[in-house]
Structure formats: C-alpha cells, structure tokens
Chain A
C-alpha cells in the first residue's frame, strides 16, 4: 500500500534522472526565469518601500485660529480631522513646540537670540498646530481641502503641487515596477511551461505506450507531476541562494540605504527569506502546472 503511494514519487525521481538532458534544460530555464523574477521583486518591493516612506513623510500642516485654541475646540478640530477618510495620524503640536521648532531651524545663533523674547508667556506669535499624515499620497490635495472646511482652522499647507507631483511620480515608478515584474513573471512562466511542454512532447511515445498497456490517466500523470515539482525545486535552488546571499551583501555594502537616507532598503531579515520562499513557491507551482497542462493535453487523445 505504502509502496503504491510512493510509486509516483520514485518514478518521478527516476524520470528526472533518466531524462537527464531534458531535465537539465528545464531546470536551467526555471533557474534563469526565477533569477529575473527575483531581481524584479527586489526592485519593486524596495521602490514600494521608498514611496511608502516618502508618502508617509509628507504631512499636512494645520494651524489653529487664535480664537479656537481652547482645549475643547482643539479636541473638536482634532476629531474632525481624524474623521476624514484617508487620514492615518493626527499629531498635535502646541504653539510653544512650534516656536521651539522654528528657532531650532534657524542656523544663525544671533538670529536665534532675536527670537528668544517670544518665549515669554503671551508673546508667542505662533499658532497651535496639527500635523496630519495620510494613507495615500495622491489624496493630499483632497484631504487638505476638506480640512480647510473645518471651523477654527486658520491655515492648511501640504507642500503644494510639488508634493503631489512627487507622490504621483513615485506611484508611477511603483506601477511600472509592478507591471514589469508581472510581465516578466508571465514571460518566465511561459518560458518554463514551454520547455516542460517540449520535454513532454519528446516523450509522447512513452505516454502512448503507457496507455496501450492499460494505464489510467492519473497513473501516467502523477509521476510527471512529481517530475515537474522536482524540476521546479532544483531550478529554484540557485536563484534562492543568489537572492539570499546577494541581497544580504547588497544591504551590507550599501549600509542599508541607496543614494541618501531617504531610500532605505528593506531589511534582509525577513525580506530575503520571504523572497526565497516565494521563488521556491513559484518554481514548484510552475513546474507542477507546466507538467499538468502538458501531460493532460497529450492524454486527451481520442481513445
């Protein structure tokens, strides 16, 4: 009973070994395709990381009218902002904080001294403020407009058109990256399926003989599926290793960021591990599906 269960597995391994040259060509095509997919995934996920980070750092600054600086009023304004769809966080900054921030942002010490008197009670010209972060950078303008409509809001600023332009440019890069990954993955899958298809085409006689001696389709098909899985796993090994060690090396050499601190790379742990698992999954799935489709097509003959 157990030997019958393991039969397809044993036959699958035998098939890979005995059709060595064809197996190698399939494994190589899986290998090349997965390396391409890996590179595109590293690019896409990191660009996503950059854009999300940047989007996050773009804030809407909301200043409160002097006449609405009571705690109740500011609670009301804060709640009203939080209620707007797409707002992720609202951070309060008192006028004292604002002054402090402003003074610190001035580089010249003499100039700094000029602002010191404003620290005194009642002399601070700054407004209380809220800093609003949004979930989706493309909605900055729309949310800004909505905040402007809240009573008690003095002024709303979000960096203007340049901020939206940056976000939209980043989104385009992200979309292109995702599109490329998808297109390349499809191309890779087609390539792999085609190679597997050719190897099975070469074994059409084998399939016909099996049918002639009375083998049912599932009996013929199962070892081929195992072969597909083995080819997928073997083909994924090199890309997995290259991704795991290569990405760690890139991260180490670049110090975890590219060009400037703004472009922070994803931490290899767990990113590289997940990527390896994804490559293994894609390899296995493609090997399995490629074999299934190719064999099934050839078993669908008349009788």
Chain B
C-alpha cells in the first residue's frame, strides 16, 4: 500500500531530512511514526502527501509513484488519501457539513450521495448533531473529529494523520484514537499516524516506526514508545 525505497530528501537550504528510508506498510495496517523534532517525520508525511518530492528513491502510495506526479495530477492523487493535521485545517467560514461535503464536491459526487455520505461519516465520528455548526463553535477534539470525517468521507485507502492528538488532552486523545481505530476496522483504511504522544503510543499499541536524524532507528511490530524525549 505504501512503499518507500531508498528515499533521500535534501531541502534546497541544505538540510538533509531523510536518509535511505526503506519501509513497507500493508493494506489495513495502522502504523505510528514517532521521532523528535527534526527527525524527519513531517518530511515523510509531505512525501506521502505529494507536497514534496524525494531527492532520491521512490515513494509509492496505492501503486502511484508520488514523486513522479506532475503538478496537475497532485490534486487527483490526493483524492486517494485522507490527511488529518494537528491544527485541524477546517474552513472556518463553512459549516461542519460543508467542510466534509467539500472533499466530495471536488470529485464531482452527486449532491444526494454527498448528503448521505456526510451523515454517515458524522455518525462514525460521533458528531451527528453538529452538521450545522461552524468550526469555531466546536471544541478542539470535536474539530479534529470533523477533520477526520472530512479525510475519510471519500473512503480513501490511506489516511495520514499528522499529530492528530497534538493539541488535545489525554481523554480527548483517547476518543480520537477510538475513532481512528474504528475507521481502520470498518473500512480497512491504512492509517499512518505521526505522533509525539507517548501515552497514545503505549496505550494503543500498533506497529511503530521510530525516526532519528532522518534514519529509521527502529521498526517495532509490537509497538511501544522507545524514544527518550527528555
């Protein structure tokens, strides 16, 4: 589902973000990517998302060589993956319903199907009654659930979550994890989650890939937070 082969990334300012990354994530897996600031987590996400291209090597997601995509193909590619960010990135002037529907409108889905699809995902993330609310009226945890609902609305095969619990307290983080696990099970969505959150990684054990200085330090099938953050 996701395959990185000999991936290097060096930015124009000379920063080497990733060295010789080789990893394979299968369909339906739920994987954590952990690492300290500057370890290369965000770069890896950007490569998967098509925001950056590798300096060397190939990044394949759902069979597409992301690094070779032309600019005009990037939006189409993104419809195959859902992305959730730490800061939610919701359209503040649009309602919850409209935020989620937007991801479906871009693929030209019929209005009626959009309506039922949005209701379905709102139910999945536990926000059935919030469709008419604006993001500013919701708590952080609720906004993140809206972002997740938007990311999965068009049933992507891959969901990339960049520090989705970063701004949330432990109880709300647990709720978000429950939602993500539900999605992983219900749709068989492959989930790649970048996180700092020791509690989450230790409590909801999954395969964990630890990055350090741009290298893969460890790939633990049984999971657990192995980095010393102090």
Contact = CB atoms under 8 A, between A and B. Distances in A.
B52 A205 contact: no
Contact of B78 (A213, A217, A302): A213
B93 A7 contact: no
Interface in B36-74: 49-53, 71-72, 74
A210 interface: yes
Contacts of B94: 18
Contact of A216 (B50, B92, B106, B111): B106
A210 B91 CA distance: 9
Contacts, number: 55
A9 to B, nearest CB: 14
B89 interface: yes
Given A205-B89, A206-B91, A303-B71, A213 B52 contact: no
B71 A4 contact: no
A292 to B, nearest CB: 18
Best-buried of B75, B94, B111 by chain A (most CB within 10 Å) = B75
B14 interface: no
A303 B107 CA distance: 18
A28 to B, nearest CB: 20
B10 to A, nearest CB: 16
A253 B122 CA distance: 66
Contacts of B72: 216
A102 B2 CA distance: 103
Contacts of A18: 93-94
By DSSP majority rule, is chain A's interface helix, strand, loop, or mixed?
A: helix
Interface string A188-232: 000000000000000001101111111111010000000000000
A214 B105 contact: no
Interface residues of B, number: 28
Contacts of B77: 214
B105 to A, nearest CB: 7
Contacts of A211: 75, 78
A209 B89 contact: yes
A19 interface: yes
A214 B106 contact: yes
B76 interface: yes
B105 A7 contact: yes
Interface in B84-100: 89-94
B9 interface: no
Nearest to B85: A212
Nearest to A7: B105
14 contacts: A7-B105, A18-B93, A205-B89, A206-B91, A206-B93, A211-B78, A214-B77, A214-B78, A214-B79, A214-B103, A215-B106, A219-B105, A219-B106, A302-B71
Interface of A: 3-4, 7, 15, 18-19, 205-206, 208-217, 219, 302-303
- Nearest first, the 9 A-B pairs at minimum CB distance are A214-B78, A214-B79, A18-B93, A215-B106, A213-B103, A209-B89, A214-B75, A216-B75, A303-B74
